[in-house]
Amino acid sequence: MTDWLRRRLNSLPPPVRRRVRRLWLSLVPIAQCSLAAGVAWWVAVHVFGHPQPFFAPIAAVISLGLSLGKRWRRTVELVAGVAIGILVGDLLISVIGSGTWQIVVVIALAMGIAVFLDDGPLIPMQAASSAALVATLLPPGGVGGFHRAIDALIGGVIGILVGALFPVNPAHRARRDAAGVLATLRDAAGRLAGGLRAMDEDEVLAALTSARGTQEAINTMRADMRGGQEVSTISPLYWGSRERLERISATADPIDNAVRNFRVIARRSLGMTQRGERLDPELVDIIAEIGEAFEVLREMMIAKPGEEPDQADAARVLRTVARKAKPELVSHSTLSETAVLAELRSLLIDMLMIAGLRRSSATATLR
């Protein structure tokens, strides 16, 4: 059944396939948000007796969101923003009344207080929206304002509880993101090696463009790694995954650095190709082998515990490549080739660190 679905997905046009994949990856967060919103409303109505607790489902959805990271932070910012907005709105509107200029004053003051108290982006927006609701739709004063602040707190707490009891698999999401970036580097390295062999400027440029287009994926990877660590802290179901998530999260900087180093290599290679300079075939072979090593790292990243290749397998492959990237290759070469080899060695250090080596051990491999 899974293979059939995968074949059907692959048969779709690329734009539709990307959208379907995005929806598929968001199904669990969507289910979390909808469940938390319903539960928060029910608790506010039936447990606390609030007649219209619309802040409860809103707070539950915002505290969860579609991303894994900073859920505690979002919840605190949300409750604080709602409380500030309601407090300012209740105090001012009950004194100065409702109207156009009153709305301007209330929202400006609520946002100003929120910005003064904290630099988070969510607090001013929530303070403004809450103050606007009080100034336009909701009666100020009485217990209503207190109830609305309690509703926001109920929603935030319910959101965190739903995220803890029905969590996204934090390790899976982090591994998937890292594997995607490594797959891009694998393809770009193979393309770069092919372009250098053929002296094809367009292919070399395509490899550079591909590497340059990874920043959004890297940002997503970092956010999901941080979110995964947060989930493993909050959810008892994943307390046993903390150590593994720490290992996965430790690859974030080396992967980011590897992308940056590869961009430098591709950019230097493009300059050489444009000038008609041919890179030493042995260096081109190393670039091709680095592409194959990226595939090993990708497989390592998506392998389950106990499966192969593991970190030791990946490190073994990389050491083999590193032994070929010896300084003697450029002892009588141009400055450009020397610079490419230096960047290749730096890239190999990053890759060895992705495979679990400390920087000192990785550097010692390339002495």
The DSSP annotation for 308-332 comes to SS-HHHHHHHHHHHHHH--GGGGTT
146 & 247 share domain: no
φ/ψ (deg, to 5) at 248: -65, -45
Q: Is position 251 within any domain?
A: yes
Q: Is position 10 within any domain?
A: no
Q: Is 85 helix (H, G, I), strand (E, B) or coil?
A: helix
197 & 135 share domain: no
Q: What integer best gives the mean pLDDT of the chain? A: 85
Q: Is position 15 within any domain?
A: no
- CA distances 43 to 32, 38, 86, 157, Å, are 16, 9, 21, 11
The whole domain housing 263 covers 170-365
Rounded distance between C-alpha atoms, residue 288 and residue 146, angstroms: 65
Among 140, 165, 190, the domain boundary falls at 165
Tokens, residue 166: 């029905």
Cis amide linkage into residue 309, ω under 30° from 0: yes
75 & 142 share domain: yes
Rounded distance between C-alpha atoms, residue 109 and residue 241, angstroms: 45
228-250 average pLDDT score = 75
Question: CB of 286 within 8 A of CB of 312?
Answer: no
123 & 200 share domain: no
Q: Is position 25 within any domain?
A: no
Q: Does the pTM exceed 0.85?
A: no
* Residue 355: band (very low, low, confident or very high) from pLDDT cuts 50, 70, 90: very high
Among 165, 185, 205, the domain boundary falls at 165
pLDDT in tens, 294-339: 999 999 998 887 788 989 999 999 999 999 999 888 888 788 899 9
- Sequence-distant (6+) residues with CB within 8 A of 9 are 17, 20, 21
Q: Is position 124 within any domain?
A: yes
Structural domain count, the chain = 2
Q: Is position 19 within any domain?
A: no
Among 100, 131, 165, the domain boundary falls at 165
Q: Is position 14 within any domain?
A: no
pLDDT computed for residue 202 by the predictor: 95
Dihedral sign from CA coordinates of 337, 338, 341, 346: negative
147 & 260 share domain: no
Rounded distance between C-alpha atoms, residue 214 and residue 291, angstroms: 16
Angle at 102 between CA 100 and CA 105, to 5 degrees: 115
Q: Is position 41 within any domain?
A: yes
pLDDT computed for residue 66 by the predictor: 54
pLDDT in tens, 40-62: 999 999 999 888 888 889 888 87
81 & 174 share domain: no
